[in-house]
Amino acid sequence: MKLQGCSEIFMKKILNDIRFWIIFFLLIRFIGITDPPLEVGHNWRQATVAMVARNFLEIDNNIFYPRIDIAGEKSGVTGMEFPLLNYMIYIVSEIFGYQHWYGRMINLIISSIGLWFFFRLIKKYFGNTVAFYSTIILMVSIWFKISRKIMPDTFSMSMMIACVYYGINYLENENRKKNLWYLLAYFIFMVSAILSKLPSGYSLVVFIFFYLNKQIPVNRKLIFSSVTFLGLVPVIAWYFYWVPYLVDTYGFWHFFMGKSMKEGFREIVQNLDLTLSRFYQTALKFSGFAVFVYGLVISIINKEWKIYSLFLISLAVFSIVVCKAGFTFAHHNYYIVPFVPIMALVAGYGLSKIKNYKLALGILLVLCIENVGNQLHDLRVKEVDFRIVNLENDLDKISQRKDLILINSGPCPTPMYFAHRKGWVDNNENILKENYVNALKEKGLKYIVILKRSFGSEVILSCHEKVLENEDYCIYKL
């Protein structure tokens, strides 16, 4: 009986340790971790990240000249988000040889560490219970699936959370020796996070609360401001000088830099229902949003100003990001990722105010089941899409790697990544135009790949020689 009692106490202690759950959900997302980036959602986004990483390995490892494979006869060098994640994939590939799933693993590990920093940050100001609930809610949110994709979104936000953690420690700590390390860590994580994904920078707004804190010495605030400004210099230089320079110099536009506030706001209004769904459905699903609303209302009733004021200030600044993105925010679910930690905090606070512990855990369980259940499909690849991985081997039988190709995948670059070639992607309508194909032929086009089932639909090119055909695609030689 005594042994059984000790065992129960041990298990309870383990289950109440957030590190157990971080590792548990990390292991769940190992399912299909080596799968190619062919999920229904965001395969195109992952393919472009993987392209850049592979080109660092095979062509040029200069981090300032990222290149993709869909620029036709051009070099492919173009402006984009600072390729930190891409370069980490490249470094691992230099050691072990290239594999696309390195990007999944790197993102998953960094994003899991970000959850630990999130927990520590929330615990510091709101206690263990709020921190525990909030972290669980965050890890089963859209964070669950985006954190295992070859994308910089949760990768960036994880470093941003670490940045806020160390920045706050610097401002509040009196130990000069520790403060030097806190400030250095703040600087490194801030620069890395915002360079990797510009919208993550909105999170710096949380430091307003500390600037208003009169107990923090003025000289410390001035040093912190100077370091912050210094950290923003490379960000500004990259996005507002280097990105336009690469586009102008190498003649290929790829990266979305946003729209005017006026145009973006108009597009948000025109797509208001879809925009709002990013908050009440995409972020935490319906049950999570209900808990979030409850937490917000309770924070106002209880006059918990830290909660509702943080939410309101964050929402005000994040609204700038939403308006700058416009239509793109409404139609791409991962744009909500930077705001999800704030929503998770409010929802976690709401759960902590439910006095019945079993009821709170029951609600948390329902929230987890709905969120994870609606994202498990993202851990596998459909068979019809999986077959495109054979495209490279089939092209190798009839052509050389340097041959330029055209694929009927519309604007989607994913098939070009699996072809391991360079060239163009376009729709059937344009490919059927003889003048269009002839113009590309003059630029070096050698083969046309017609996808039949996945990423494209079949058309017959009778004026070209068919050199390979199967049930998934047909390859023509010009």
Inside any domain, residue 2: no
Q: Single out the residue in 360, 378, 396 at which a domain terminates.
A: 378
Inside any domain, residue 201: yes
Inside any domain, residue 1: no
Per residue in 168-201, pLDDT tens?
A: 999 998 777 788 999 999 999 999 999 999 999 9
The pLDDT score that the predictor gives to residue 402 is 94
208/143 Cα distance (integer angstroms): 26
Look up the pTM and report it. 0.94
Residue 405, φ and ψ in degrees, nearest 5: -130, 165
Do 77 and 176 belong together in one domain? yes
The pLDDT score that the predictor gives to residue 337 is 97
**Range(s) of the domain holding residue 420:** 383-477
**Geometric angle at alpha carbon 193, from 191 and 197, rounded to 5°:** 115
Q: Single out the residue in 330, 349, 378 at which a domain terminates.
A: 378
Q: How many CA atoms lie within 13 A of 70 on its CB side?
A: 23
Do 356 and 460 belong together in one domain? no
Do 342 and 467 belong together in one domain? no
Collapsed DSSP state (helix, strand, coil) of residue 422: strand
Inside any domain, residue 441: yes
Q: Single out the residue in 358, 378, 398 at which a domain terminates.
A: 378
Inside any domain, residue 4: no
Do 373 and 389 belong together in one domain? no
Structure tokens at 193: 């996070």
The pLDDT score that the predictor gives to residue 436 is 93
Under DSSP, the state recorded for 251 is: -
Do 224 and 275 belong together in one domain? yes
The residues with which 468 forms a beta bridge, in sequence order, are 475
- DSSP assignment of 175-211: -HHHHHHHHHHHHHHHHHHHHH-GGGGGGGGGGHHHH
Inside any domain, residue 467: yes
Structure tokens at 139: 């890890």
The pLDDT score that the predictor gives to residue 8 is 60
The stretches in the chain having pLDDT less than 50 are 1, 3
Q: Structural domain tally of the chain?
A: 2
Q: Is 464 exposed, middle or buried (0-12, 13-18, 19+ CB in 10 A)?
A: middle
Q: Which strands make up the sheet holding 404-407, listed edge to edge?
A: 422-425, 404-407, 445-451, 473-477, 465-469
Do 166 and 44 belong together in one domain? yes
Do 416 and 432 belong together in one domain? yes
